[in-house]
Amino acid sequence: MSKITKEDVIYVASLAQLELDEAAQERLVHEMGDVINYMDKLNALDTDQVEPMMHALRMTNVLREDVVGESLSREAALKNAPKHDDEYFIVPKILENDNA
């Protein structure tokens, strides 16, 4: 029994900003279901008293002097943008003209 339904896949895809066709949705119901079922083996462990390992290394407050350094030029920062002018990244209209 898969733990993942088609509705789950559609909902998660909307969170992930992915557009899946019908076949991909069906495939992911099974593939994600298999993996999630496998992950459920962790439930066999009692971890109530265990601290989560949030970081690979125990480090706190890595600070540096606040000095002005070199940064990327505007030209270099813009050069990979699919669409830009001399100053800005350009994207399609964010607000539609429907009196919104």
The pair of three-digit structure tokens given for residue 8, joined into one six-digit string: 């789950």
Q: What angle do CA 42, 48, 50 make, to 5 degrees?
A: 85
Q: Closest by alpha carbon to 90, among 100, 75, 78?
A: 78
Q: Closest by alpha carbon to 26, among 4, 54, 55, 52?
A: 4
3-state SS class at 84: strand
In the complex, least distance from residue 37 CB atom to other proteins, rounded to whole angstroms: 9
- Among positions 11-50, residues that touch other proteins (CB under 8 A) are 12-13, 15-20, 24, 28, 31-32, 34-36, 38-39, 41-43, 45, 47, 50
The residue within the footprint of other proteins, chosen from 1, 23, 59, 100 (CB under 8 A), is: 59
Catalog residues that contact other proteins under the rule CB under 8 A. 4, 8-9, 12-13, 15-20, 24, 28, 31-32, 34-36, 38-39, 41-43, 45, 47, 50-57, 59, 62, 64, 72, 76-77, 79-83, 89, 91-94, 96
